[in-house]
Structure 1
Amino acid sequence: MPYVNVASWTEELLQFQQKLERGWANLARHARPSYAETPRELIFEQDGMRLWRFRGSEAPAGRPPLLIVYALVNTVWMTDLQVDRSLVRNLLAAGEDVYLIEWGFPVAIDRWLQLEDYIELRLGRCVDEVSERHGGVPIHLLGICQGGVFALCYAALRPQRIARLVTMVTPVDFHTPDNMLGMWARHVDVDRLVAGGGNIPSALINSVYLNLKPLRLHQQKYVDLVDLLDNPDRLENFMRMERWIFESPDLAGEAFRQFIRKFYQHNGLVAGGLEIGGKPVELVRITAPVFNIFAAQDHLVPPSAAQALRGRTGGSYQEWMFQGGHIGIYVSARAQREVAPKISAWLASDAL
């Protein structure tokens, strides 16, 4: 029979119990950590959508304003998660005049909103508001993930309104063989899904995302949580991310249906034939210089899906692959050092 050191085992058990007790106290203190704390001013509001302008400690460098267009999925505050993990703060520090669209939380009647409402009307209205505040100049646009798709469509429909376009972890070819999310979406009966519920519950979309990496995102991270329980700072960071993941808006039903059909199923940006509000969307009509940023370990938008933008626009094109993942490109230590400076340097460059 193997020897068991009862005293040592008992001591370890006691230490673990004490760690759990400290952890529960920390959890209670950090149950709802804050985010989105960069000073900002409300510029425009309509039907739940808000347009914000951020304020940095230094005056902007005088370049055209930069409007961030985030995805409809999850909230926009991944861009301003905390003081030391904030794309917004880093862009301000680099001299950019930063605006952001907060799409809001759709209600029941919003199930009829279409992609045209988001791209032509809401995004278009925000572009106009920002431009008018700066003398009517064309502005810089930074589109992130699905927001990057919206930005590409808008820049193709209204090329004269955009001075430069940055796309970040943005899918262009939705049918690349390594696109797990694309494979799932191509087999969804989206008509039945929308007809059955109107707006698409955020819990359903989050479940799809989490099940793309079920072991890591469903199980392992909560096993790892035990090691964080008695570390208040790391635990607060964990809980902040959990809040962001699960405090997500539902998706307007008709816009969701159109996005799945036009992009994931018909692959309209690459295959052609894409229309928004009855108007053709062709990437070659984008005349603004484009800076395309994607992430090497992105499981939602693999590099092949994003790199498909190369050679398809009508203006100059540059790209950069960030060494990280779909979330790491916002919150990792590497991202804080690299992403905003890369964007700002390109916006200030002589790219034509």
Structure 2
Amino acid sequence: MDLIPKPDQIVSAASNVAHKMLYGGLADLRPMPRTLIDEGTLRELYHYRPVAKVVQQGDPVLMVTPLAAPAICFDLRRGCSLVEHFVTQGRPTYLVEYGEVSFRDRNLGMEHWIDEVLPEAIRETSRHAGGRPVHVVGWSLGGIFSLLAAADSPDLPIASLSIVGSPFDVSLVPLVAPLRPLLKINFTESRGAITRAYQAMGGAPKPLVKWAFQLSSFQKLVTKPLAVATHLDDHDFLAQIEAVDRFTANMIAYPGRTFGQLYHRFVKGNGLVTGSIDFGDRTIDVAAIKAPVLVFGGANDGIAPIPAVKAVVPLLKGAREVRFEVVPGGHLGMLTGRSARTSTWRAMDEWIDRWASDAEKSDTDDSTATAPAKKAPAKKAPAKKAPAKKTAAARTPTKKTATKKAPAKKPATKAAASAEAIGANPSRRYGSQGSRALSR
């Protein structure tokens, strides 16, 4: 709102406050309808049901949630839901989540997700979608697990990978960098205090995970009351805050052994900076990935800053194509914030269309060929009236020539507008740090 609110702003603010008091909130938090199609140990695979009057076709997309974060990160609220975006487009949409992590899961390590959860989810998604290759979208740790699973199992039916806010060089994370030298110090000859703590608790409990996520956006947390007060007339802004608050309140615990691996290998050892990691008698290297990879960095991401995320780009030596995009928003906002609708999602759509399978291209060609056939009768009617107009046209040949030239310019204009809207250069292997959305 303005410093001195206008009458319409006062009315909007009063309406928003009244709606929140009477109905408990402004955000439409209804989840998109879905069906459980496969499950296992800490693995639940869901298929989102198509919306009315929209036919599902094309290659499927599988969204991979990170550990400790609720799956609503992909379905935050109506209007800011990546799930809703894909479903309303008619794309077969799937999501893998892990359910509640308990003390009995404390012995599960990262291998469980890399060897079992993700490979099974990808294969089952492909089977359920009629054998189509899968476009995998992973956020944060879900993106890291997606890359490691793809590198370890080259036979997986993956059409493309989209990695959102996944840090590969932890030394470049401002929140962690100052602590890493201290974490390497052995204050005692026995196990460190942090190791003893997470082993005793069986992992990282929910309150600790929630606190860590809030700490990454500490400035926003402190200024939140002022932000709300100055945006009381902005329904969409207030609804987004409600949705993010619900997301933060539903954080999930980390399993003990997995948390230990993340702590020792990623945080202390910065083990992903080279692109390879050892698990027992094998080494997984992301250079083995053949599928095309799209990497997103958030302009205001405190958990996974742009340099930490971009560090993976030169490591993907075997990928068919690698593209790096900078988009507006923080760690969650870049995925499902209000700006994501015109930045991240648009780039993702272009990427998925670019790497569509031959079957999807055939579907598109068939639908394009069928559409004009239905409209043909409507075009025949004006043809009967044409002789009356031809006489007039014959009298003014110069106007007829001008009419023919005008359409010739339109395709070029539309193509240019489309290229500017997408903002991607297909000939570019690595994107620059200048985002199309940030340039607006």
Q: TM-score, normalised by structure 1?
A: 0.83
Mapped partners of 1:289, 1:121: distance in 2: 22
1:46 aligned to 27, 31, 40, which one? 40
**Cα-to-partner distance string for 1:208-238 (whole Å, 9 max, x where unaligned):** 2323443431x32134444567987755543
Go from structure 1 to structure 2 and tell me whether the alpha carbon gap of 1:91 and 1:120 turns closer, same or farther (over 3 Å shift). same
Corresponding letter in the other structure for 1:343? M
Mapped partners of 2:64, 2:223: distance in 1: 32
**Equivalent residues in 2 for 1:201-216 (5 A)?**
201-216=205-220
1:175 aligned to 171, 178, 191, which one? 171
Mapped partners of 2:220, 2:209: distance in 1: 17
Mapped partners of 2:236, 2:299: distance in 1: 28
How many residue pairs match? The answer is: 331
Between stretches 131-140 and 74-83, larger displacement belongs to: 131-140
2:255 aligned to 227, 234, 252, which one? 252
| 2:140 corresponding residue in structure 1 | 145
Matched, 1:280 2:280: no
Relative contact order, CA 8 A, sep 6+: which one is greater?
A: 1
1:112 aligned to 107, 110, 117, which one? 107
| 1:331 corresponding residue in structure 2 | 336
Go from structure 1 to structure 2 and tell me whether the alpha carbon gap of 1:48 and 1:35 turns closer, same or farther (over 3 Å shift). farther
**Equivalent residues in 2 for 1:205-244 (5 A)?**
205-217=209-221, 219-226=222-229, 235-244=238-247
Please state whether the residue corresponding to 2:163 is helix, strand or coil: strand
1:165 aligned to 161, 174, 183, which one? 161
Percent identity over paired residues:
25
Q: TM-score, normalised by structure 2?
A: 0.68
Go from structure 1 to structure 2 and tell me whether the alpha carbon gap of 1:332 and 1:208 turns closer, same or farther (over 3 Å shift). closer
Corresponding letter in the other structure for 1:266? G
Of structures 1 and 2, the larger Rg is shown by: 2
| 2:315 corresponding residue in structure 1 | 312
Corresponding letter in the other structure for 1:122? V
Matched, 1:76 2:78: no
| 1:12 corresponding residue in structure 2 | none
1:269–1:283: 8 Å Cα contact kept in structure 2?
Answer: no
Go from structure 1 to structure 2 and tell me whether the alpha carbon gap of 1:59 and 1:268 turns closer, same or farther (over 3 Å shift). farther
1:297 aligned to 297, 300, 305, which one? 300
- Gap regions ≥5 residues in structure 1: 1-18
How far apart are 1:23 and its partner, in Å?
5.3
Mapped partners of 1:134, 1:229: distance in 2: 44
- Supply the RMSD in Å over aligned alpha carbons: 2.9
Go from structure 1 to structure 2 and tell me whether the alpha carbon gap of 1:48 and 1:28 turns closer, same or farther (over 3 Å shift). farther
Please state whether the residue corresponding to 1:344 is helix, strand or coil: helix
2:328–2:343: 8 Å Cα contact kept in structure 1?
Answer: no
How far apart are 1:78 and its partner, in Å?
1.6
- Gap regions ≥5 residues in structure 2: 1-12, 184-191, 356-425, 430-440
